Structure 1
Amino acid sequence: MSRKPITKKIINTAESCVDDNLRGVVATYPQLQLHPKHRVVTVRSTVDSKRVAVLGGGGSGHEPFAGGLVGSGMLDGAVAGGVFASPPTGHVLYGIAQLYKYNSGGVIVIIGNYTGDRLNFGKAIEKAKIAGIKVEGLIVGEDVASSHNKTGGRSMCGEVFFYKLCGAMANKGYDLDTIRRIAAEANKSMATLGVCLSACSLPGQPPLFEIADDEMELGAGVHGEAGIKKMKMGTAKETVVMILEQVVAHLKLKSGDRVAVMIDNLGGTSFMEMNIISAETKSYLDCKKITVERIFSGHLKTSLEMHGFQICLLHLNKEHGDLWLELLDAPTAAVGWTGGEASVRREGGHIDDDTLLQSDARKAAAGPALSPKHQELFRVSLAKAAEDLVRSEKLLNRLDSGCGDGDCGITLKKFGLAILSYLSAASVQNPSDVLWDLSEIAETDMGGTSGGIYSLGLSAASQAFTKAKTVDASSWLQAWEAAMRAITKYGGAEPGDRTMLDTLYTAAAAFKQHLGKDLKHALVQTDKAADKGAKATANMVARAGRASYVASGYTQDEDAGARAAAVWLHAILTSIADTL
């Protein structure tokens, strides 16, 4: 049986990564002080604050926990163990003594509910008391998945809530016993549950466990451990609902209750996913008529690069809720805290003011009109172009896969289908209006870069037709050239840069050259030129567009955008030529 490959990480050595990480924290934030021999990070102090100091910490690999949560209003210090390993007693004791030196009000130590942390932090606290230091510890844990254990649930991202609550109380001058008592009450009112889609790996090691592509682990921990149950993947909404049903039941929340929410990125989850999770979390709680006072989302207590998330709810009860919310909103200098003024709940929904984009400028028919016969030809040729774009989806995706994101065919298929829907009911009497409508369709239905390019070109062509006196070959050429100028002006590409312009310019030049001759001959020559222009891009060095961002080895076939232009030009030109 072959051994799983070691996961790639940008580190120096597995042995030095924790110390290198701490050096990076204080290099980035020089207001913090590193005590390297003991792996302790503290705020820089020179005089006695007279207040209580807050110490946290535990194993490394939970970024930004805990060194990144040191700062006024949160932790005064943090002690780091090895990756997913509790720090030794001596290092914890040093952290306590260092904080007490400048904070004679005492030290409260937040201890994660893990055996190693309980033992090492606990022994350090007892040693500190023997030495005459005023110190108290608080073991915290809120994991629903392990709540049946004799010692209670594991400490998950909710531990960060305690850093914030205790740090704010310390800044307000609360004494040691009061801080501990209020924090202990908060521990009874919070619960966390999460899922992971993939495992993390310790530096220099392969992934800790395997998850099938269509599965997720419910109840995964923050030390890389697997969950309590494998489940089939669901949508973001389904997964959030499944988690929150258990958390809400665990806390016995009911309609009218208030909560603060923490959504923790376990390390490998994108902002897009986290925002979707936040939206679904609020929607679920709104439906339950549970008021969401705050959502704190982001990297708070991760598990290296684990792909997943945790949701922690803090029940803002009638007795302490207002105080806890005040403490959560209190300012902090800790860089890892994601809350702030922007996270304060506001009343009112979210709406669009559609009147802003309403315009009467194009309500009336603009430019010269087509005869009934030419209207039918216009409609047929546009429909043929749209149908051919739809049929070319796989070809265009393949051409785009080497140097783009492989979706050129998908994007233009959307455009083609939208055009066919438009043609089923729209009037095509005025080319200017049709081209304007197509530019709007490109903007709304295609989207992305391609939508922007086509929308620009078509709107410029539309404007050119408003100035035309008649609809003839010359006016179509002028509109064509206006479109190319607009694309060059805003897109930055020119002929020879390996883009759709290589097709358009080559074809336009041929059309212009043969314009004074037989029209059918001109159309045939233009079609040949378009194909030639697209094929020529295979030998070009990309100097604009997405293909210019990748190595030349990925651009050995035709440009997808150039071929797409040849596809729809061929459809239009042959449709017209067949009637002559």
Structure 2
Amino acid sequence: MHHSKKLINSVEHCVDDALNGLVAWNVGMQLVEGYRIVVRSDLDNIKGKVAVLSGGGSGHEPTHAGYVGAGMLSGCIAGDVFTSPPTGNISAAIRAMARAGAAGVLLIFNNYTGDQLNFGLALEEMKIERISVEMITVGDDCAFTTQRKTGRRGLCGAILMLKIAGAMSEMGMSLDEIVLKLKSTLSKVGTLGICLSPCSVPGSKPTFNLEMDELELGMGIHGEIGIERIKIMSADEIIQKMIDHMTNPTNESHLRIQAGDHIVLIVNNLGGLSCLELNIVAGSAIKYLESKQVFIERAYVGSYTTSLEMGGTSLSMMHVDPELLKLLDMPTSAPGWANVSRRNLVRKCRTLSVPHLEPDHRDTPPGSGPFVDKVRSILDMVCTTLLQMEEELNELDREAGDGDCGSTHVRAAHAIKNLLASDAIPGYGHQILLCLGRLIRDHMGGTSGALYSIALMAAAPNVKNNNKPSAWALALDSAIGALKRYGGAEPGDRTMLDALCAAADELRKVSDEDGNELKVLAEAVQKAKAGSEATKDMIAKAGRASYISSAQLTRPDPGAVACAAILKCILTALEGSNPEDQA
């Protein structure tokens, strides 16, 4: 495999460019010239307080530089991608803090050999310079079931330590107090990751390869091996497997969690998981923990410690008491720390139940009489015709759209058939139009469903107190007006309007006195048919077809064809009923 695409200027400068960019958009931080060190802009506020420093390889953003800010890190030292920062930079950062008047410096970093060596060496150097420095190493990985000599890897749980230390420093606590607190808290946190797809260091091939149908459990944040590869399964199953492994007492690096425990949860995106999946994972984890009677005091969901573009997630859990919660809830200006609600999730009501959001239409009594009989025969014919035309309309739509125009119309036909079977046809024109509008809105779907509903709803008021032919002609005009307004199309754009407008122009000639309505309607149906045929030579300017080059469009528009067919059904049904009746 070749190395993956990256949006960078150059491999050798990508870390510096990223740090420059981060500092460019965050008022609260600045770079120390000549070093890869990011420090708070308000160094005056460090005077007399403990400076909290962290650092490590880059590629885990927002870890660590994204956590620089009031209430979190005083500064951070960045290494190359996935590479520990050199000792000289760490020492320089400590000296910068001492020069700003810090009352001691605390180094917090993840348990990796390179970081241990470089931070340890810097600490020894500082002792010689008589600067008061302490270090805390975080190892929160719950993957390996047997102890390793090197100890547990540091993963996303470390950011909780940075937050606690930063809050204590802000409160003016001493170096010893902070160290004591962190040491007692380290054993309360655990993290486990899973990986679906690898990442690649800028300029290199992916660090490993995973098959399409497998995921790795217990992956490290640099692509280090996990504990097992398993076949992909549902999110719920994966999350349960993760939490079971993390809390399994036979696993030497497990985190003890039992019913009644109070925890905070981090659902961390390792970099390449979509936000949609992350929310699914969060829901899954919360549901499973709650089913075990665990109290989730806070849930932090987002990208906290990433691994470039690795597709995957990690779950971190930490036991908390009111004191720790207070420290986690204290404000910070660090951009990487999400502004999470300071209330727990326990017994939170998650659904709003609101009966009767739909207006009640059942109060329309079914009508009877010659008018309703006509409506019934029209609708019956429309259904039959649309069912017959399904394949033809789908075929036309495959050329211009997504090939479902016929199926969409069939859904409408079935809904209307159910209405006919239920004997619930109202007795007035405007109620019939509203009833059809709602029916189509709820059952047809697609763009056509919305367009027909809008047209029917707009048409209805015209025939509220007037059932004369001219009122129905006006109703069609109102329908067309609404279609133009919301659909953004005009006649000539190759849409259903090309059939409807042609018919409407003809229908304006109807007069209520001389009973010419069937003759005019017959003429209008002819015009609609011609209008729909003419669309085959038009360039689509609206609707989905407008994204397709006109050279590929050689047949009429399915929407126009359907509208012409519906108008013809109306005519045929009306001709079939008593010709002496007023339409």
TM-score (norm 2): 0.84
8 Å contact 1:436–1:462 — kept in the other structure?
A: yes
Q: Which residue of the other structure, out of 274, 278, 291, is the alignment partner of 2:278?
A: 274
Deviates more, 1:12-21 or 1:101-110: 101-110
1:303 aligns with 2:299: no
**How far 1:530 moved relative to its partner?**
2.3
Distance in 1, matches of 2:127 and 2:90, equals: 13
Deviations 1:160-194 (A, max 9, x none): 11111111111112211221222222221122222
Query: Partner of 1:27 in structure 2?
Result: 24
- 3-state SS of 1:63 partner: coil
Find the partner of 2:295 among 284, 291, 294: 291
Distance 1:121 1:412, change over 3 A: farther
Q: Does the CA-based 8 Å contact 1:458-1:483 persist in structure 2? A: yes
Q: Distance in 2 between matches of 1:526 and 1:498?
A: 13
Contact 2:49 2:103 in 1 (8 A): yes
Shift in Å at residue 512 of structure 1? 6.0
Task: State how far apart, in whole Å, the 2-side matches of 1:446 and 1:141 are.
Answer: 56
Q: What percentage of aligned pairs have identical amino acids?
A: 37
Task: Specify the alignment match of 1:483 in structure 2.
Answer: 479
SS at match of 1:37: coil
Shift of 1:516: 6.1
1:238 is the counterpart of 2:242: no
Contact 2:108–2:138, Cα closer than 8 Å, also in 1: yes
Q: Does 1:251 align with 2:255?
A: yes
The counterpart of 2:119, out of the listed 114, 121, 136, is 121
Give the direction of change, closer, same or farther, for the CA distance of 1:90–1:349 in structure 2 (3 Å limit).
same
Which deviations, in whole Å up to 9, do the C-alpha atoms of 1:429-462 show, x marking residues without a partner? 4554454344445555566866654443332133
State whether residues 147 and 154 of structure 1, in contact with CA within 8 Å, keep that contact through their aligned partners in structure 2.
Answer: no
Cα 1:447–1:62, aligned 2, differ >3 Å: closer, same or farther?
farther
State the shift of 1:13 in Å. Answer: 0.9
Counterpart AA for 1:270: S
Number of the residue aligned with 2:580: none
| Higher mean C-alpha displacement, 219-228 vs 46-55 | 219-228
Shift of 1:77: 0.7
2:496–2:559 Cα contact (<8 Å) kept: yes
Distance in structure 2 (CA, Å) of the matches to 1:20 and 1:491: 46
Partners of 2:464 and 2:237 in 1: CA distance: 52
Name the CA distance, whole Å, in 2 between partners of 1:82 and 1:253.
Answer: 37
* Unaligned ranges ≥5, structure 2: 249-253, 511-516, 577-583
Note if contact 2:396-2:557 (Cα within 8 Å) is conserved in structure 1.
Answer: no
Against the structure 1 CA distance between its residues 464 and 56, is the aligned structure 2 distance closer, same or farther, given a 3 Å change threshold? farther
Q: Which residue of 2 aligns with 1:523?
A: 525
Q: Displacement of 1:282 after TM fit?
A: 1.7
* Paired letter, 1:243: M
Rounded to whole Å, the distance in 1 between the matches of 2:131 and 2:406 is 70
Residue 372 of structure 1: how far off its partner (Å): 2.3
Structure 1: how far apart are the matches of 2:61 and 2:451? 41
Q: Could you say which residue in structure 2 is the equivalent of 1:76?
A: 74
| Deviation readout 1:302-359 (Å, 9 max, x if unpaired) | 111222211111122xxxx211111111100001111333665475413335357343
Q: Distance in 1 between matches of 2:240 and 2:505?
A: 60
Q: Aligned runs of 1:55-454 on 2, under 5 Å?
A: 55-146=53-144, 148=146, 149-225=148-224, 227-249=226-248, 250-316=254-320, 321-341=321-341, 344-345=344-345, 347-352=347-352, 354=354, 357-359=357-359, 363-364=363-364, 370-382=371-383, 384-385=385-386, 388=389, 396=397, 399-400=400-401, 425=422, 427-430=424-427, 432-441=430-439, 443-444=441-442, 452-454=450-452
- Residue 254 of structure 1 and its aligned partner are, at CA, apart by 1.6
Name the residue aligned to 1:572.
566
Q: Is the partner of 1:41 in helix, strand or coil?
A: strand
Number of paired residues?
A: 559
- 2:307 is paired with a residue of what secondary structure? coil
Given residue 400 of structure 1, which amino acid in structure 2 is its aligned partner? G
1:229 positional shift: 2.6
SS in 1 for 2:519: coil
Q: How does 1:487-498 map to 2 (within 5 A)?
A: 487-497=483-493
Q: Which amino acid aligns with 1:572?
A: I
Structure 1 residue 422: Cα displacement: 5.6
Query: Quick one: which of 438, 457, 460 aligns to 1:459?
Result: 457
CA pair 198-441 structure 1, distance change in 2 beyond 3 A: farther
Amino acid at match of 2:201: L
SS of aligned partner of 1:517: helix
SS at match of 1:312: strand
- Mapped to 1, the partners of 2:123 and 2:404 lie a distance apart of 59
Counterpart-to-counterpart distance in 2, 1:444 and 1:559: 33
Distance 2:409 2:498 in 1: 18
What is the letter of the counterpart of residue 351 of structure 2? I
AA partner of residue 181 (structure 1): L
Q: Are the aligned partners of 1:329 and 1:339 in contact in 2 as well (CA < 8 Å)?
A: no
Q: 1:180 to 1:342 in 2, by over 3 A?
A: closer
Bigger-Rg structure (1/2): 2
Residue in 1 that maps onto 2:581: none
Matched residues in 1 for 2:207 and 2:348: separation? Answer: 45
CA contact (8 A) 2:490 2:497 kept: yes
What do the CA deviations read for 1:404-448 (whole angstroms, capped 9, x no partner)? xx9878877766666666665462345544543444455555668
Most deviating of 426-435 and 323-332:
426-435
Given that residues 110 and 153 in structure 2 are in contact (C-alpha distance below 8 angstroms), is that contact kept between their aligned partners in structure 1? yes
Closer, same or farther in 2 for the Cα pair 1:499/1:577, shift >3 Å? closer
Asked if the contact 1:266–1:306 (Cα under 8 Å) also holds between the matched residues in 2, the reply is yes
- What is the CA–CA distance in structure 1 between the aligned matches of 2:226 and 2:102, rounded to whole Å? 42
Task: Kindly indicate whether the alpha-carbon contact (under 8 Å) linking 2:499 and 2:527 is maintained by their aligned counterparts in 1.
Answer: no
User: Structure 1 residues 453, 62: closer, same or farther in 2, change over 3 A?
Assistant: farther
Greater mean alpha carbon deviation, residues 434-443 or residues 485-494:
434-443
Q: Does the C-alpha gap of structure 1 residues 52 and 375 become closer, same or farther in structure 2, counting only changes over 3 Å?
A: same
Deviations 1:130-161 (A, max 9, x none): 22111111111212223633333321211111
Question: Matches of 1:32 and 1:449 in 2, distance apart?
Answer: 49
Give 1:41 shift: 0.4
**In 2, Cα distance between equivalents of 1:99 and 1:395:** 72
CA distance in 1, matches of 2:299, 2:395: 43
Gaps spanning 5+ residues in structure 1: where? none
CA distance in 2, matches of 1:25, 1:559: 53
* Matching residue of 1:53: 51
Normalised to the residue count of structure 1, the TM-score between the two structures is: 0.85
SS state of the match for residue 312, structure 2?
strand
